[in-house]
Amino acid sequence: MTTQELRKQIDSFFDGNLSETDEQALRDYLATHEVPQDMLEEKRIVLTLVPGTPQIPEGLEERLSSFIDRLPARKKATRFAPVWRWVSGVAAIVILASAAGLYFTRQPAQPQLSEQEIYACAEAQRALLLVSQKLNEGTQQWQEAQQEIVKTNRIINKHLKIK
């Protein structure tokens, strides 16, 4: 096979236009012949992608047949096996149903507050609101004091630099 024919075969292979027998023939050719340097990568890919014919060892079929014949016969299920499957299925359903029932019936109820507790909550809210307002007023006064301190420091620094 010439280099041009080989190039066409490889291009057809990568395009998917070769039949299985042509692919096998291309693989056999590449496995037994040298190719130019620029085609070594394609050779490696084709040899990897197209499987070779596997070699079956002599006597494998007879050994497999005798192995299968020596396997113990599968024991038939006892007559109680279907009953146990049915019983275990029913038991699983009962357990799931009782678990779901307990889950939904044992949900904690919303706590009911007495009038005293409601009044205590309202008073606590009022107290927190008052504390918040006083803190805001204190913060505002602190900021004003900071501004006065800055002005005073400027005046003092101005007089100290002149002397």
Residues 95-146: tens digit of each pLDDT? 999 998 888 888 776 778 888 998 999 999 999 999 999 998 888 888 999 9
Q: Report whether 46 contacts 13 (CB < 8 A).
A: yes
How do residues 50-61 score in pLDDT, each as one tens digit?
776 666 778 888
pLDDT digits (tens, 9 = 90+) for 13-29: 888 888 888 888 888 88
Q: Evaluate whether 61 touches 42 at the Cβ level (below 8 Å).
A: no
Which pair of structure tokens corresponds to residue 156? 């003092």
CA atoms within 13 A on the CB side of 145: 6
With 0.75 as the threshold, say if the pTM is over it: no
Give me the chain's average pLDDT, please. Answer: 84
- Tokens representing residue 14 in the block: 């990568």
Dihedral of CA atoms 121, 123, 129, 134 in degrees, nearest 10, equals: -140
